Structure 1
Amino acid sequence: MEEKINAISFNDRAIPIPSDYRPLYKIGHILLILYISCRAGKSSIMKLHFLCWAIKTKSNTATVKGWIKDNFSSHLYIWGIEPTVNRALLFAVSNELVKNIGPDFLITTKGNDLVKAITRDKELYNREREFLSSIGKNKITELQINKLASKFH
């Protein structure tokens, strides 16, 4: 005998979203990058993508540390461009945490205030802050990012 389906129902269930895909979490990364590792709190989108990729995993961080240690001569060909960074940048700009000036992004006073609050909390973004502090504002320049990005062509 054939059974017929009379109705289908769905129940809403909370679906956990990994923190790396949450815009607020990624905004924290962007602000830390601009504050700790970018001259004058300003960066190109490519450098933001690169450093967001670098701090995403311990493996990526180790790869970038090796690239720096080898005076940027080792073969680093692949790194990620993530839509979550773009989305977080849109939120950061719309909330006046970051300003888009031509091809660059600049941390605002409001963004500086938020990132200072983040850095006061010793439990937030520890691994990321340690890495970004170790590279500082001068180790990875826009020129190095452009050279690296040119390998994609």
Structure 2
Amino acid sequence: MHNQYSTLLPLDDLAGFTFARKPVSVPADLRLHWRIAETLLVLRLCSFKSSSSVMKLQLFNWALRNQEVRARVIAAMSGAKPSFGGSVLHLDPAVNRAVDFSLATGLTGIGSPGKIKLLEKGRDLADRVLEDDTLLSAEKAFLTEIGKKISEAKLSSTINALF
């Protein structure tokens, strides 16, 4: 193994070196399955006609990750002037991946322009998650509390007020 790099890299010393794949712990909120379930729950519990913009999915994702944002969403829903304390809407690429995966697997489809629609397969999965008290209990409680009280129009006016 003598070439131009042999003086820079001691490759001969690595002859007995091996790699072993070991499981890596991934936080639950970063797991794709978790994000898909969350997306399906938002569509099932908080969206008119089980259809939502990706922006609304992003807002709920942000609220589910952040207690302060969650409180502000609840306040805005109750009629308070929307305020996110100088924060900008957090757009999470994992939400887009979850949407892409749910589209590819037939859990969701494309509804009216710019909307993601919950399909029967996704509705069945969301209902199974809702029935199991051990799954996503805090998320289900928040989403149930909000329900369908935040329309796309209200979301748009809230975002426009922020920017």
- Please indicate, yes or no, whether the TM-score normalized by the shorter chain is above 0.5: yes
Letter in structure 2 aligned against 1:93:
L
C-alpha separation between the residues in 1 aligned to 2:56 and 2:69? Answer: 15
C-alpha separation between the residues in 2 aligned to 1:85 and 1:127? Answer: 18
Spell out the pairing of 1:1-150 with structure 2 (5 A cutoff): 5=10, 6-7=13-14, 9-69=18-78, 71-76=79-84, 77-101=87-111, 102-137=113-148, 139-150=149-160
- SS in structure 1 at match of 2:142: helix
Letter in structure 2 aligned against 1:59:
E
C-alpha separation between the residues in 1 aligned to 2:24 and 2:72? Answer: 32
Residues 37-78 of structure 1 show CA distances to partners (whole Å, capped at 9, x for unaligned) of 111100011011101111123333223223323x14142252
Letter in structure 1 aligned against 2:83:
H
1:152 positional shift: 5.8
Moved more, 4-13 or 128-137: 4-13
- SS in structure 2 at match of 1:16: coil
1:14 positional shift: 1.9
Residues 15-51 of structure 1 show CA distances to partners (whole Å, capped at 9, x for unaligned) of 2111111111101001100101111100011011101
TM-score by length of 1: 0.87
Residues 83-138 of structure 1 show CA distances to partners (whole Å, capped at 9, x for unaligned) of 0000000110011000023300000000111111111101111111111111111x
> Percent identity at matched positions?
26
Q: Which runs of 5+ in 2 are unaligned?
A: 1-8
Residues 82 and 158, structure 2, Cα contact 8 Å, conserved in 1 = no
C-alpha separation between the residues in 2 aligned to 1:149 and 1:74? Answer: 9
C-alpha separation between the residues in 1 aligned to 2:18 and 2:68? Answer: 43
Greater C-alpha radius of gyration: 2
Does the C-alpha gap of structure 1 residues 133 and 114 become closer, same or farther in structure 2, counting only changes over 3 Å? same
C-alpha separation between the residues in 2 aligned to 1:121 and 1:27? Answer: 16
C-alpha separation between the residues in 1 aligned to 2:77 and 2:124? Answer: 30
